[in-house]
Chain A
C-alpha cells in the first residue's frame, strides 16, 4: 500500500522511515512525502489512478490540510483516496470541518504510531 505523508516539517520523513522501517523493508508499505499541500497535489497529479492513502497535517503554511482535503475529495474520484487528517489542536472545529470535507479518519498529535500501524493494516 502506498502512503503519502503531507507535513511541512521535513524531519517527519526520517521519523516515518524509521518508525515503519520493518514494513518498508518487507515492502508492506510504501511511503511518499510532500512538504506542503501544493506539493501533495503535484504528487497526486503525477500518480493518478494509483491507490494512495493520504496522511496530512492540518496546520501548514500556504494551503492548509483542510483545503487539501477538500480539493482531493472534489477532484480525485477514481480510485477515491483514503485521507487521514492530523492536527496539533485536537479541537471539535477542525474535526467537524475535516469530517464535513470527507476525511476518512482524524488523528491528533502526538501521533500514536502503534495505533497508526493498526489502522494501516486495516
Chain B
C-alpha cells in the first residue's frame, strides 16, 4: 500500500544516475511518511484542542501533496528536498510558537528536519537545516530568557496527552525515516555487490582471453616466420647434402690416387674433404641454431634472464622476418642494413622475450616500407631498373653500447630498428603502445605486438621503448636496456 503510493509519485527518469533515482525514491518516502505523521499530529491537535496547530499541519499537508506532484513532474530532487525542509521547519516553527514556545512539547521536532534533509539531500543541506534548527531553538531560548510570553493555544487540561503524543510521534518519525533510509541503503549495497561480482567475472574472463590472445599472437608471429625458417633451414641442409655427396666423390678419387701412389694428390683431396666436413659441421650447426631459435620463440617465456648475444639475436630475427615476408609476398624486397656494436658482448636478458620485441619491430618496419613501396607509382614498362623509382625501401638494425658518463655505474644497450616507410601519423602515435590498436586491415594484425613489446621492455627488463617518427619519412624504434 505504502509502496504503491510512493511509486505513484516517482517520476520515470531513465536518463538520471542510479544515485539520483535513489534520492528521489528516498525523498518520496520521506514526504509520504511525513504526511502520515502530519495526519497523526492533526488528530492529536484536534484531541488537544490545538486548532492553530491543526490548521498549520493541514496547510503543510496540502503543501506536501503539491510537492509530491512537483516531484512527479520531474522537478529537481534537491529543490524538492529543500522546499520540503522549508515547509517542515516553518510548520514546526508555527506549531512551537503557538503551543508555548520554548517550553512547547513540539520543540524537539525541530531535530527531524536536519536529519531527514541530511539523508535525502546530502551533507550540505543537512548542515544548512541543522544551523536553521539550532538558530530557531536559540531564538526561542533567548525570547524566553527575555521574558517573552508565548501563546498556548491548546487546551491546557490536555497538556499531558499532547506532550506524550508529540514526543512519541517524534521518536517514531525519526525511526521510520531511518528505516526507509536503511532499506534503500541495503538495496543499493546489494546492487553494488552484484555489480562487483559481475565485474569480477568479466575481469577474469578478460584475463583468460588476454592470455589466449598473447598465445595467439605468438603463434601468429611464428606463422609469419615459418616460411622464413623453411628457407633458412633449406640452405644449410642443401650444403650438408651437397658437401657430403661431393666428399664421397673426393674420397673415391683419393682411393684411386692412393692405389696409384699419388700421395700428393691424395693429400690435397684429403684436405678438401676436411674442409668439406668443416663446412658440413658449420651448416649443420646453422640449421640447429635456427630450429632452436624457433622452438624458443614458440615456447612460453622462461622468464629467466640469461647472457645473450644481442647482435646474433637481432640478426637471426632480421633474416627470419625478411625471408618470412619474402615467402608471403614475392614482390617484396627491401635493403637491410645492419650496424652491430661488437663491443657489447653478452647481456642479461630473457632471449625469447627480447627476440619477440625485435621481431615485432622488424616485421613492422618491413611492413611500413612495403606499404610505401606499393604506394609509389609502378615502374614504366621496359624502364631501366635504377631509374624506375627513387624510393628504396630500407630497414636498418643497429646496436650500440652506451657507456655511462663518468661516475655512473650502469650503462645501457641500445637496439635501434629504423625504416624509411610512411612514418606514423600523429593521431595514431599516442595509441601505438595500447593493446589492440592496429592500423592493419582486420585480420592482419592483432594489435598486440607493440603493446606486448612495451610491456616486455619496460616491465620485464626495466628498459625503455621509444619511437621517433616523421610522417612520410619513416620511423625509428629504440629499445634501451640497462646492463
Q: B67-106 interface mask toward A, CB cutoff 8 Å, 1 = contact, 0 = none?
A: 0000000000000000000000000000000000000000
Residue of B nearest to A58 (CB): B330
Of the stretches B197-205, B291-299, B321-329, the one at the interface is: B321-329
Q: Are B272 and A18 in contact (CB under 8 A)?
A: yes
Tell me which residues from 243 to 290 in chain B have a Cβ below 8 Å from any Cβ of chain A.
Answer: 243, 245-246, 250, 272, 275-276, 279, 283
B239-A113 in contact (CB<8A): no
Count of A residues near B, CB < 8 Å?
26
Contact A11 B279 (CB under 8 A): yes
Q: Are A113 and B231 touching (Cβ within 8 A)?
A: no
Assess A88 versus B235: contact at CB under 8 Å? Given A15-B242, A93-B330: yes
* B237 contact set on A, CB distance < 8 A: 110
Contact (Cβ within 8 A) A9 B322: no
A4 to B292, CA, bound (A): 35
For B275, the chain A residues whose CB sits under 8 A away are 14
Residues of chain A lying within 8 A (CB to CB) of residue B276 = 14, 18
- Whether B382 lies near A19 (C-beta < 8 A) is no
* Interface-central residue, A9, A15, A93, by most chain B CB under 10 Å: A15
A110 surroundings in chain B (CB, below 8 A): 234, 237-238, 241-242
- Chain A 47-66, CB within 8 Å of chain B: the 1/0 string? 00000000000010111101
Contact B335 A71 (CB under 8 A): no
Contacts A11-B239, A64-B333, A110-B238; A18 near B250 (Cβ below 8 A): yes
Is B146 in the interface zone, CB < 8 Å from A? no
- Docked Cα-Cα span, A61 to B336, in Å, equals 7
Measured between beta carbons, the chain B residues less than 8 angstroms from A94 are 330
Write out the residue numbers on chain A whose beta carbons fall within 8 Å of the beta carbon of B235.
9, 88, 109
Q: Judge if A74 is at the interface, Cβ distance under 8 Å.
A: yes
Cβ contacts under 8 Å, A61 to chain B: 322, 335-336
Contact A15:B246 (CB < 8 A) given known A88-B234, A97-B330: yes
A18 touches B246 (CB 8 A): yes
Please indicate the chain B residues that have their CB under 8 angstroms from the CB of A59 in the complex. 231, 323, 326
Q: Name the contact of A109 in the complex, choosing from B227, B234, B246, B327 (C-beta under 8 A).
A: B234
A67, A70, A88, A113: most-surrounded residue (chain B CB, <10 A): A88
Asked whether B4 is an interface residue with its Cβ less than 8 Å from the other chain, the reply is: no
Known A11-B283, A18-B246, A113-B242; judge A88-B335 contact (CB<8 A): no
**Is A120 interfacial (CB 8 A cutoff)?**
no
* A35–chain B nearest beta-carbon distance, Å: 14
Tell me how far the C-beta of A110 lies from the nearest C-beta in chain B, rounded to whole angstroms.
4
A76 in the interface, Cβ–Cβ < 8 Å? Answer: no
Task: Determine whether the beta carbon of B330 is less than 8 Å from that of A70.
Answer: no
Beta-carbon contact of A109 and B238 below 8 Å = yes
A64 to B335, CA, bound (A): 10
Q: Does B186 contact A (CB under 8 A)?
A: no
In the bound complex, CA of A94 to CA of B227 (Å): 15
Nearest A-chain residue to B230, judged by Cβ: A88
What would 9 more interface pairs be, CB under 8 Å, given A14-B276, A93-B330, A109-B238? Answer: A18-B272, A59-B323, A61-B322, A71-B385, A74-B385, A88-B235, A94-B330, A110-B238, A111-B238
Binding site for B on A (CB under 8 A): 9, 11, 14-15, 18-19, 59, 61-64, 66-67, 70-71, 74-75, 88-89, 93-94, 97, 109-111, 113
Closest 4 CB pairs of A and B: A110-B238, A18-B246, A71-B385, A88-B234
